[in-house]
Structure 1
């Protein structure tokens, strides 16, 4: 995703003011199970999908507007410039399935270009955020059937049957979210999508390999919004899991691992400390981290090879003039 010293002023509003509540005995949520398992592992880590509660989703929307964060505006530029060509590949009366839909901003460029799109199925793990965004979209596109699905799109799920008269069922996966997966996970997701979209296709946005300085700036913004986004994971654990993370005791760190072609994002313990989660205590040494996200970068050819392995046929590719970002049409 996205200066270790910058986040504290912005993130301070996320710190809980009250004493942590007593541990409850309610069944573990998926987030609770993942956090407990992640803290018990060496090295410690947790999936980036848990960034996206309501507060996390709102912070990510702010990240997308930052001057340093080129991916969003670059991808939007590609979609706007090439919308007609993309629509010609997809065809009329399409059903659009968006994986990790978020605020439903980019899909508007696609919907505006398509010929009589039939239905839109946005899938996102943050149900409350998704419902609000879907209601706004429906108001702006009254002729479009909008059916939000609150779910983890990385897991097998059954989509509604195609509507009568619908054309291709097309997946939309913008934002280079594919880069958050480990290579084997990326392959598994694309295989899942190929099966789900059989007879249709996938439009996927992919961030490209580039100057490390540009990547570093994108994930260490001057305003500290990305740091607040990263630290919000701990705030969420305090609020939902009765944990007692001291947000001032951890800092955001993101760096580019050039040999692995990926940004790595971590939460770094600023001192020796202990964290309690439902009565279990986890000791941190100074400098010990919780790994929260990878953001792998691709070459055009590398993404295409991965797609072919997953069962897609390679179609058109669109890039910006600087070749910072790419949008791929893959046929299933």
Structure 2
């Protein structure tokens, strides 16, 4: 963050307010990703349950676990699931989701963990094969190098009969993508600017939130959406906890999130390189979003 061009890791988004705003984003008409992924899960969850026979469902970036209930229902119906282990950086989201799941699935053991799985990837132990889910196209927030490291680290801790369920948003009309991250109600803008509230609280900073504006652009060369915060004026920001002073010029931008969009061949190639065999590839009816099921390739 100190040297221009400045950037922030997306994990700073997800305090309690950030999690609420993201849940609101998933219901926006412009934001198709959640609906597309739900469509695939509704159609394929039974097959996923049959193909994995998972006794444990581990979910990275679980958040509210709302989208996961289709999987939980299918695995429960199949009679294999004993443990649901959600992992997330947001304690409040995990606590709220955990209470609801314990109420709605009284026979299911729920073991939530507050963790930054990007820095330390450890899979919870559980009964039977583990199904590791990483939904919502959060993988798109990773740079190519971070994706490579993440896939390799995950493969290293997976057992022979474990499986990996990955959600990935696909390359499409840039206008559709831009609208998904620049919604008419300004919810995404509020979500983006909320990161400054988090920095003010967690790092004893003095960002003037109203002195920044949201922008989301399509980077055609890298096939990704980039979210930026642009300074409305020249300003000085102090982060007391880091003993750091930042100078922003009028119009200077700070990158807050990338959201890579994928093509089938290149994503499968990345997983193959890390030691995964992609066994299933499904899309929604409009072919906007993909859900794939992979397994260790036996190396």
Per-residue deviation, residues 187-213 of structure 1 (Å, max 9, x unmatched): 111112222222211001000000000
Please list, as runs of the form range in 1=range in 2, the aligned pairs for 1:198-277 lying within 5 A after superposition.
198-199=159-160, 200-277=162-239
Q: Which residue, out of 129, 135, 156, partners 2:99?
A: 135
2:152 equivalent to 1:191: yes
8 Å CA contact retained: 1:170, 1:197: no
Partner of 1:181: 142
> What is the number of residues matched between the two proteins?
290
Give 1:157 shift: 4.1
Q: Distance in 1 between matches of 2:70 and 2:267?
A: 23
Q: Distance in 2 between matches of 1:178 and 1:94?
A: 24
Taking structure 2 as the reference length, the TM-score comes to 0.94
2:248 equivalent to 1:297: no
Taking structure 1 as the reference length, the TM-score comes to 0.85
8 Å CA contact retained: 2:170, 2:289: yes
Partner of 2:249: 285
8 Å CA contact retained: 2:36, 2:288: yes
Q: Distance in 2 between matches of 1:198 and 1:275?
A: 47
8 Å CA contact retained: 1:104, 1:133: yes
Per-residue deviation, residues 145-188 of structure 1 (Å, max 9, x unmatched): 100010011123444433xxx22111000000110000010111
Aligned CA-pair RMSD: 1.2
Q: Distance in 1 between matches of 2:247 and 2:132?
A: 43
2:117 equivalent to 1:156: no
Q: Distance in 1 between matches of 2:225 and 2:27?
A: 19
2:287 equivalent to 1:326: no
Q: Distance in 2 between matches of 1:208 and 1:225?
A: 23
Moved over 4 A (4+): none
Partner of 1:79: 41
Larger RCO of the pair (alpha carbons < 8 Å, separation 6+): 1
Mark the runs of 5 or more structure 1 residues left unpaired by the alignment. Answer: 1-37
Q: Distance in 2 between matches of 1:211 and 1:65?
A: 21
Give 1:280 shift: 3.6
8 Å CA contact retained: 1:156, 1:192: no
